[in-house]
Structures are given as C-alpha cells and as structure tokens.
Amino acid sequence: RPTFWRIYKAKDVEEFKPDPYLATLMNCLLWFFYGLPIVHPNSTLVLTINGIGLVIEGAYIIMFIIYAAKNTR
C-alpha cells in the first residue's frame, strides 16, 4: 500500500487518520470469528482471507502508534 510506504519514509503519519483502518480491522476480526470451525464449519477461505486482513491492518495500526505524535494517538 502506498500509505504504508509514505508513513515509513516520512517517519510521520502526517494527515492520515486511523479510523478507516480500525473499522477494517474490526470488520476482519468479526468475519474471522465467523469463519472459525466452531462457528461455521468448512469456511477455510473466509478464515484465511480475513486472517491476512487482520495482519495487514494490524501492521498499519502498529505503524500508526509508533510514528504518531503523542497528542494524535
């Protein structure tokens, strides 16, 4: 994603907001739980796709926390 590279290169979150990434993280988390074999059997694809989404969005949130100013966090 271009946003990741821009934040990483600048070492600052600039004008970016974490809201859409938090919403996507929560969405992936809910679908991940739905895809668990206990909840819905035979849903490996749902589990895999949303597991990858959790990792990507989690990486952005961690990057945001690291590079954001204290008052922005």
Q: Are 41 and 2 in contact (CB under 8 A)?
A: no
- Asked whether residue 73 carries a pLDDT value surpassing 70, the answer given is no
pLDDT confidence bin for 58, thresholds 50/70/90 = very high
pTM of the model: 0.79
70, pLDDT greater than 80: no
Tokens encoding 9: 């290169």
- Counting DSSP H helices and E strands in the chain, the numbers are 3, 0
Q: What is the pLDDT of residues 26-36, one digit of tens each?
A: 999 999 999 98
pLDDT digits 0-9 by tens, 9-20: 888 888 888 888
Topology of the domain comprising 2-67:
Monooxygenase (1.20.1280)
Domain extent listing, the chain? 2-67
Q: pLDDT band for 1, please (50, 70, 90 cuts).
A: low
